[in-house]
């Protein structure tokens, strides 16, 4: 892949210059910060707001597992949306503006063009999740109890992988589509399909969402169950989406 290093440097600098890297990091950091706080204080807030006017069921005492669950839920939901937003115009916008054709006049390959963009998106998401995970871990330690650092880091990596699947699928949509809106639309279609498949018996064990259960177990210091199937399937989806993007892009007139 000729020109990969140069193109990757260009994409990473663009992430910084357009402020996308910092915006995603700040928003993820906020979710990482509020997740353990929400788990700890939400029951008290509900009781305070309700007062004696409503008959509320007994609210269980928050535990460290609630903090982990809150972090996974917040970052999974927002992370998938962010992945779609980051990837939806990665290729389609370049084609629409004609910059892709200009880049291809240089001694670089189309494969390098695609891989550099996808790696930059993955690096953006990984750094943002690392920052969010560090903040969430610290406040979980303060408000609840310490968790195994290795297991918590593994949880963050699995969370990143589950989110990056949707970045790769939306990236495929952006390669196929002629506009960023088209790429976003295809990304949402892929998301809906995976959510439907996740609800099916057996098939759901291979979807990205199945990574969250083992991720939770690792963060709590418990042995993960059924990790191999969703892990290998998620990596396979990313590789397949990247390969299909390349097969489509190499045949396109720019």
Instruction: Give the model confidence (pLDDT) of 104-149 as tens digits.
Output: 777 888 899 999 999 999 999 999 999 999 999 999 999 999 999 9
- Of 198, 169, 164, 202, the C-alpha closest to 186 is 169
Exposed/middle/buried for residue 102 (C-beta within 10 Å: 0-12, 13-18, 19+): exposed
The predicted structure's pLDDT at residue 161: 97
The torsion region of residue 226 among left (phi > 0), alpha (psi -120 to 50) and beta comes to left
Q: CA 233: distance to chain centroid?
A: 16
What pLDDT digit, counting tens, does each position of 53-97 carry? 555 556 678 899 999 999 999 999 999 999 999 999 899 888 888
What pLDDT digit, counting tens, does each position of 150-193 carry? 999 999 999 999 999 999 999 999 999 888 889 999 999 999 99
The mean pLDDT value for 31-46 works out to 85
User: Is residue 2 scored above 60 in pLDDT?
Assistant: yes
The predicted structure's pLDDT at residue 4: 87
User: Is residue 101 scored above 90 in pLDDT?
Assistant: no
User: Is residue 237 scored above 70 in pLDDT?
Assistant: yes
């Amino acid at each position: 892949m000729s020109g990969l290093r140069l193109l990757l440097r260009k994409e990473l600098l663009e992430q910084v210059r357009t402020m996308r890297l910092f915006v995603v990091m700040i928003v993820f950091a906020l979710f990482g910060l509020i997740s353990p706080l929400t788990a700890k204080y939400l029951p008290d807030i509900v009781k305070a707001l309700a007062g004696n006017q409503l008959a509320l069921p007994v609210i269980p005492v928050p535990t460290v597992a609630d903090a982990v669950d809150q972090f996974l839920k917040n970052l999974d939901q927002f992370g998938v949306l962010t992945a779609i937003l980051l990837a939806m115009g990665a290729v389609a916008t370049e084609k629409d503006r004609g910059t892709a054709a200009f880049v291809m006049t240089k001694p670089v390959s189309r494969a390098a063009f695609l891989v550099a963009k996808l790696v930059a998106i993955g690096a953006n998401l990984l750094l943002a999740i690392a920052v969010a995970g560090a903040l969430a871990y610290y406040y979980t330690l303060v408000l609840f109890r310490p968790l195994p650092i290795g297991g918590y880091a593994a949880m963050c990596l699995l969370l990143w992988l589950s989110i990056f699947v949707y970045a790769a699928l939306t990236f495929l949509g952006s390669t196929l589509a002629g506009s960023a809106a088209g790429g976003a639309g295809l990304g949402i279609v892929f998301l809906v399909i995976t959510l439907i498949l996740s609800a099916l018996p057996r098939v759901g064990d291979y979807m990205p969402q199945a990574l969250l259960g083992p991720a939770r177990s690792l963060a709590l210091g418990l042995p993960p169950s059924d990790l191999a199937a969703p892990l290998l399937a998620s990596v396979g989806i990313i590789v397949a989406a990247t390969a299909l993007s390349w097969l489509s892009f190499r045949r396109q007139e720019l």
